[in-house]
Structure 1
Amino acid sequence: MMIFQNKKIIFLLKSFTLGGAEKQALNFAAYLQNELNCSIFIYSYIKTNESKLFYEECEKLGLNNLRLEKNPLSASGNFKYIKRRIKIFLLGIKLRKHNPDIIIPYLNPPSIIAVLCYKISGAKITFWHHRGADYYRGDYIEKIAVKKTPFFLANSIEGKKELESKFKIKKGYFLPNFSTVNKINTNNFLLKNKGIKGKVVLGMIAHFREEKLQIILIEVFSKLLQKNKNIHLVLVGDALDKKKFNEVKKYIFINNLKDSITILHNTKAEDVLPCLDIGVLISLKEGMPNTVMEYMGYSLPIVVTKHDGCVSLLGSNYKYFIDNKNEVDQLNKLEKLILEEKERKKIGEQNYMSLQNNFTIEKYINRLTVILNS
């Protein structure tokens, strides 16, 4: 950990929203600040999708140095590449006032900015930081940034393979996420009046985006509901994709499911997790999902799409992985957990112990230190 002790570190985020990547970033930053005496500065460059939950998380963790800059990757008209390089150069000059030792980006676009400005800022270390369902520009500035990247980091084996295939690079590393769960045992007021007392509560915590498949879960849930009225579904997430969010609401309304499904947004995961009996995540793509780690931290059994990052968390022999296209498999696994309370408790406890044994922030920093020293 000595590589981080007393250092000045800039975290570069895409926007001040609170998804899995941002939650990892903020908890990492807080640990460095509070335990290793680091000076932390958090930058973002896109104002849209700002979330009050992000600022609440920063306040809770004691992170005060937040800066919102103009997007250096935005350019119009002719000479776009030159305009972008000038903006990135000017950002690098601005960052010099912090005398940074390290710049840590989260997601692909911030990685482009970091690797093109870190030497200008005076920082000695940065890297490309891939985070699962990520965005590729495919333009010239991305190609230049890839060539200048010291090394590539991914939070899943799937992501590492994707980087190596996409960019034809060899120096890629897999670094699993750490647990950000601070378990709170409470009966949350948000769900007290939703008519779910005594019911088995399924929950999917995921923002409404293209790659998250809430509709599939609702379709399966509606079939389970025909056989068992003693269940309720909670969907938690912000409407980052308005079209997707409206599709979900419309489906619930048309199928007369509004009394059996609760949608919550601008809601902290820890306000809902204590009320759940089963955690669900159905998606097209994941890195190492923070949501799954949160489910594990609250001792929940989890029904989840079999992505590499989920396998890294739950183990290759985990019984409740599902195929997005196999509805029968989804129905059977959810129904088993709904009907068997002992099975829920057994699987939930196994998940909790796996998280505690393998995914602490101390282990994360030790693994990252080994990579930085290699």
Structure 2
Amino acid sequence: MKEQLKVIQIIDSLTPGGAEMMAVNIANGLSRKGVDSYLCSTRKEGLLKSKISGNVKYLFLKKKQTLGIYSFRRLYRFIKKEKINIIHAHSSSIFIGFLMKLWNPKLTLIWHDHYGKSETLENRKSDILKVLAKKINFVIVVNDLLYQWNKKALRVKNVVNLSNFASINKQTKEVIKLKGEEGKRIVCLANFRPQKDHINLLKAFKIIHQDFNDWTLHLVGLDLNDEYSDSIKGFIKTNKLTAAIFSYGSVENTFEVLEQATIGVLASKSEGLPVSLLEYGLAKLPVVVTNVGDCNKLISNNDTGLLVPPNNKLALGEALKELIINSTRRKLFAENLNSLIVKKYSEDSYLDKLIAVYLKTNDE
């Protein structure tokens, strides 16, 4: 190794989401591994700020424009002062990472591609990314589809597929108490975005609610109060499900919330490898998920959970019903999934692989 690793994670915001959670978890994990670890949020802070370890040096840019000169200079000076040698840019923060690389070619630039619409990659615009790719030293992707796309569309030589990981981060703050009856709660941990397809989940729940009206559904995730959010709330109200479906928005104490649930569900149209699914497993929840992205790497039918096709309310409803009526299967699936995640998707294993990437690029 030529020099001590000094790595900064750059992310647009600290609003709860898969990419944002990974940036924070990586920064915290690296600090525990003895790496000089930094984290920069460029545009917006959020609930995840409270999860940043005290050993991670944090910078907030308050960036408001695409090319904010003031923000650019602050980050450039921070990187120079701290003698940071690796930029780990997540998602769209690659743009400011690219500018840093232009001004200081000695920096190693790593792009973490968290693109969530893996099933529609043929529609992804690549012209600008092809320009940025010329300065990227290494690309990290979260599933095989993204690996192939970066290789073919961007012609990136160095690409590695590192599946996401999740970590248990219990909080001391007051925990949100889920409504409904204990032992009969279904939770969906997903931000209110169209690709998460909450409407399909609501349709499936409406079907099973007719026979299991003592079970409740709990939606946990960022609510932007936009048109998609209105469609979710409108469905709940129109179908008279306000006493059975509850929405909580973003929460700080995710793990403590999951501990109150009985079943975890994701109804997504597209995914990479969702952090939510990993968190379900760590919380020992039995799960029903749609067969998109790399979900099938974790979920094997009738072993670690139940897989259903996307956009199929009947299949989703039947799978939920199966877990509702069979507590023995719930326990078995939960234990199997938890064991798999602890063994193959642990934080230590992930960080060791990531540090190996850092060392490789830092020595070139």
Q: TM-score range by the shorter chain?
A: 0.7 to 0.9
Aligned-residue offset at 1:7: 2.9
Does 1:209 find its partner at 2:193? Answer: yes
Could you say what secondary structure the match of 2:203 adopts? helix
Residue number in structure 2 paired with 1:164: 151
Select which of 20, 26, 48 maps to 1:54.
Answer: 48
Give the TM-score normalised by structure 1.
0.84
**Highest RCO, 1 vs 2 (Cα 8 Å, sep ≥ 6):** 2
Deviation of 1:105 (Å): 1.0
Question: Could you give the per-residue CA deviations for residues 258-281 of structure 1, whole angstroms, max 9, x where no partner exists?
Answer: 000111013132231011111001
Q: How many corresponding residue pairs?
A: 354
SS in 1 for 2:163: coil
Asked if 1:65 is matched to 2:58, the reply is yes
| Cα gap change, 1:251 to 1:231, in 2 (>3 Å) | same
Show the counterpart of 2:38.
41
Higher mean alpha-carbon deviation, 301-310 vs 344-353, is at: 301-310
Letter in 2 for 1:308: G
Amino acid across the alignment from 1:176 = S
Distance 1:293 1:265, change over 3 A: same
TM-superposed deviation, 1:118 = 2.9
Partner of 1:146: 133
- SS of residue matched to 1:283: coil
Contact 1:14–1:46 under 8 Å retained in 2: yes
Native 8 Å contact 2:187 2:218 kept in 1 = yes
Q: SS at the partner of 2:281?
A: helix
**1:139-172: per-residue Cα shift (whole Å, max 9, x none)?**
8653321222222210112222333343244432
Question: CA contact under 8 A between 1:151 and 1:171: conserved in structure 2?
Answer: yes
Tell me the distance in 2 between the aligned counterparts of 1:70 and 1:189.
32
TM-score (norm 2): 0.86
Specify the alignment match of 2:262 in structure 1. Answer: 277
Structure 2 CA distance for partners of 1:123 and 1:19, relative to 1, 3 Å: farther
The aligned counterpart of 1:79 is none
Counterpart code for 1:212: K
Give runs of aligned pairs for residues 23-172 of structure 1, distance below 5 A. 23-38=21-36, 40-47=37-44, 50-51=45-46, 53-58=47-52, 63-70=56-63, 73-74=66-67, 91-92=75-76, 95-107=79-91, 109-118=92-101, 120-121=103-104, 124-133=107-116, 138=125, 141-172=128-159
Residue 127 of structure 1 aligns to a residue in which SS?
strand
Please tell me whether the aligned partners of residues 86 and 108 of structure 2 are also in contact (alpha carbons under 8 angstroms): yes
SS of match in other structure, 2:342: helix
User: Which region of structure 1 is more displaced relative to structure 2, 327-336 or 60-69?
Assistant: 60-69
Offset from partner CA, 1:147-200 (integer Å, 9 cap, x none): 22222210112222333343244432101112212479xx95522xx3x22452
Aligned CA distance change for structure 1 residues 89 and 304 (closer, same or farther; 3 Å): same
Instruction: Tell me the distance in 1 between the aligned counterparts of 2:152 and 2:103.
Output: 29
Q: What's 1:348 paired with?
A: 334
8 Å CA contact 1:202–1:232 kept in 2: the answer is yes
Distance 2:27 2:357 in 1: 18
Aligned equivalents of 2:100 and 2:8: distance in 1?
Answer: 12
| Aligned residues of 2:203 and 2:313 also touching (Cα < 8 A) | no
Given that 1:15 and 1:45 are in contact with CA atoms closer than 8 Å, whether structure 2 keeps it comes out as yes
Range with greater deviation from structure 2 (25-34 or 120-129): 120-129
Query: Is 1:253 matched with 2:237?
Result: yes
- When residues 198 and 57 of structure 1 are mapped into structure 2, their CA distance, relative to the original with a 3 A threshold, is closer
Deviates more, 1:359-368 or 1:206-215: 359-368
Aligned to 2:298: 313
SS of the equivalent of 2:196 reads coil
- Which deviations, in whole Å up to 9, do the C-alpha atoms of 1:247-302 show, x marking residues without a partner? 11111111110000111013132231011111001112212111000000011111
Distance 1:313 1:370 in 2: 24
The 1:98–1:138 alpha-carbon spacing in structure 2 relative to 1, beyond 3 Å, is farther
Letter in 2 for 1:112: F
Matched-pair contact (CA < 8 Å) for 2:255–2:283: no
Tell me, in whole angstroms, the C-alpha distance in 2 between the residues paired with 1:347 and 1:137.
Answer: 36
Structure 1: distance between partners of 2:54 and 2:232: 33
2: distance between equivalents of 1:91 and 1:183?
A: 31
Alignment of 1:333 onto 2:323: no
Q: d(CA) in 1 for partners of 2:356 and 2:176?
A: 44
Contact (CA 8 Å) 1:305, 1:321: kept in 2 or not? Answer: yes
Percent identity between matched residues is 25
Unaligned runs of at least 5 residues, structure 1: 76-83
Q: What SS is found at the alignment partner of 1:211?
A: helix
